[in-house]
A and B are shown apart, each in its own frame.
Chain A
């Protein structure tokens, strides 16, 4: 055989071996598990567009090769190119940001992809919810939580150092639109900005966590205090007489942005962030804070409410601190990433949650204005007769 032909055959052989590797390993693994080879599923269903897409997806996601090589490639990509994947963006000095939060700030106001919401849809949904609650004599207080990149753009890119204009113009316009519609809201943007302008801000005084999308205990406590003050200013809630105290709990944790990368072993590349959180406890009994379903205040929101409350240390999040500031327990519906529509759908399914309520506080993160899961649907309130 000529050397030229030997090389050509060798290349063809390796190429075909690579092509066959997946089918052979996948089928062998299926047979070893006494399962029907997944490739055979194709012939057991009607070849509709949907079935074909599902079949293709199952084939890929169930692949042994994909499952084992994907993590290797993720690590390689991170080690060689510093690539954190689609969901995370590295900022300055170890700060990490959630990509969707940045997209919200950088992209055009009109939806770029299907399923994205327009500011008008957001306003309509909020006004409709406010009006429906008002019919039942319930007040609505809206609390948009600033995205991390809105508060700390300079930690994302040096270009934003000494910036003379806000990076979240669209959100500020939306707040203005809501105010024009007489929606009561708490502006945390101004609060954080003025806090940041104080010279002392640094390190433990950060309002957001360095490796996480969420606010720090300090940022969260400031938000809770501001909301409590606003409720009392409006005269919607009177200060209660439950005496809550604080129990300091030091935490050491990796942020959710690190987890989002799904890069195996990435924890080893980043030092955990040390945080001083505080649990809310009843002063007289030392019992940690717990929601009271009979409370006159219902809080709806997303993972900004979940952090420190359901996560460690527990009972140390926004809801607990708001309860402490108001001197009375609250009740809450929390859905990660689902503050735009899913929390209201959950409320619709749980009529008892609305029984006896005077105030609903609705928190949602800024990026949900555009990217809220399931958009900003008009969701009815549960039937009043079912509330009790």
Chain B
């Protein structure tokens, strides 16, 4: 189910809220059932896969914390639960990638190709596998107590507000809330505000920007200005889409008494790539830091090893986004920039320039990475770079793109996106206190966004594919 769908907004959410607040106890169990319905709505059978991943990590937790467990048996239990979880992720997400690459290699060697076994990617698998893993690791490290109830744990893994596209909620940040949490009017109202803002971001800004980006990235060698316009539109689309989803997820969490950590903090105001990664998809970058970078040795094993660790983390971070070489290159690109800035003492090459210029340069560097992120393959990514730098001249009908791109509506929305993307005030900080003025803004925004949803085609969140 999608937050910006008719059925979620007008049926699922009010029903779940109503029953949840009526129940004197068993709320986690009810949320678990609701979450399974939410998840199974897309493909009912994949609920069993999520249940299996949950069960494996739950058993792993029991084995790790069993009284009398030796260090070796605890390690074995951790290895098994992590191994099974990563195998699931590997099979469903990367098996076809592997098959395709093997076929390419065979073709190169002049051998015959084998037929590809098609695997359907379960939506949100990267998110819930990471979350289940974090439980086993946190319990192993002694950073969290084991869950008392399987249903509480299953509720944590499947919790529908953040199930499909994050933020990645680590077990140790939510363990206490699963047992006991406050339900206050203030929390619910701030959750409402955040949900409305996220909803409006997605419907009013991200979707129209997506139309522009789709036109340009589908074009056969767009003109230079069109290519820049298109990738900028994509930068706004992915930001408002993903941060909008995170706002809605955090807002929904608050409605059910949970408090999730923030996932974005004005990323396009970053003045270096290091700064960008402190502000973009914070739950992923901190997850990778704590569960991969630090276990690899972090920066404690010398300069060379630090660079290597950074590169590994970013490469795997890229691959986490999708089983494709463009994501690997995307990760490598960010990894290289981070290593370079680390080499300069966490400073960018342009650190001495005025801040607006630093922000602009960082934004352009990020735009290059979005070209990789959005292109279906490497060839098309390089063609797009060619168009951006005028190496490839517009061919045939691509000059006609102008009529589709530079409409009054697109230009106005692009300006609004820029105004919101390049300012520091974030929905996360704006939502907690409600004034009459804010209320009017929120209600109007919600009504306009709902009406706009009625005229838009189905438009799932970008991060669903990851």
Question: Interface of A with B (CB < 8 Å)?
Answer: 4-5, 7-12, 14-16, 18-23, 39, 47-49, 52, 56, 59-60, 63, 65-66, 69-70, 72-74, 76-77, 81-83, 85-86, 89-91, 97, 99, 102-109, 112, 149-150, 153, 156-160, 163, 165-170
Contacts and interface: CB of A to CB of B under 8 A. Distances in A.
A63 B6 contact: yes
Given A8-B186, A69-B454, A77 B220 contact: no
B400 A102 contact: yes
A122 to B, nearest CB: 17
9 contacts: A7-B439, A12-B192, A19-B10, A66-B454, A103-B215, A105-B400, A106-B218, A106-B398, A149-B400
Contacts of B433: 4
A157 B403 contact: yes
B43 A56 contact: no
A153 B401 CA distance: 11
B114 interface: no
Given A15-B192, A159-B399, A66 B6 contact: yes
Chain A facing B: main interface SS = helix
A151 to B, nearest CB: 12
A263 to B, nearest CB: 10
Interface stretch (B296-304, B350-358, B443-451): B443-451
A20 B9 CA distance: 9
B406 to A, nearest CB: 9
Interface string B439-466: 1001100110011101101000000000
B442 to A, nearest CB: 7
A160 B452 contact: no
A74 B455 contact: yes
B195 to A, nearest CB: 8
Nearest to A74: B455
- Report the 4 A-B pairs with minimum CB-CB distance, sorted nearest first: A105-B397, A81-B409, A8-B189, A22-B10
A169 B189 CA distance: 57
Interface centre among B403, B447, B455 (most CB of A within 10 A): B403
Contacts of B44: 47-49, 52
A167 B44 CA distance: 47
Contacts of B398: 106
B220 A73 contact: no
Nearest to B395: A169
B219 interface: yes
Given A70-B455, A102-B400, A106-B220, A11 B6 contact: no
Interface string B396-417: 1111111110011100110000
Contacts of B401: 106
B7 A60 contact: yes
Contacts, number: 169
A153 B408 contact: no
B450 A18 contact: yes
Interface in B2-24: 5-7, 9-11, 13-14, 17
Nearest to B396: A169
B193 interface: yes
A156 B185 contact: no
Contact of A18 (B7, B215, B447): B447
Contact of A99 (B220, B404, B443): B404
A15 B195 CA distance: 10
B397 A11 contact: no
Contacts of B6: 22, 56, 59-60, 63, 66
B454 to A, nearest CB: 4
Contact of B408 (A14, A59, A82): A82
Given A15-B446, A22-B6, A106-B218, 5 more contacts: A11-B193, A73-B454, A83-B409, A108-B380, A168-B397
Given A66-B454, A106-B397, A159-B399, A5 B185 contact: yes
B196 interface: yes
A202 to B, nearest CB: 21
B283 to A, nearest CB: 26
Nearest to B406: A157
Contacts of B196: 15
A205 to B, nearest CB: 23
A12 B403 contact: no
Interface centre among A19, A23, A159 (most CB of B within 10 A): A19
Nearest to A158: B402
Contact of A23 (B5, B14, B41, B451): B14
A18 B446 contact: yes
A177 to B, nearest CB: 16
A39 to B, nearest CB: 7
Interface centre among B10, B13, B399 (most CB of A within 10 A): B10
Contacts of A11: 189, 192-193, 434, 439, 442-443
Interface string B416-451: 000000000000000001111001001100110011
B40 interface: yes
A23 B11 CA distance: 6
Given A20-B14, A91-B403, A160-B400, A7 B435 contact: yes
Contacts of A166: 396
B400 A8 contact: no
Nearest to B412: A81
Nearest to A155: B403
A7 B403 contact: no
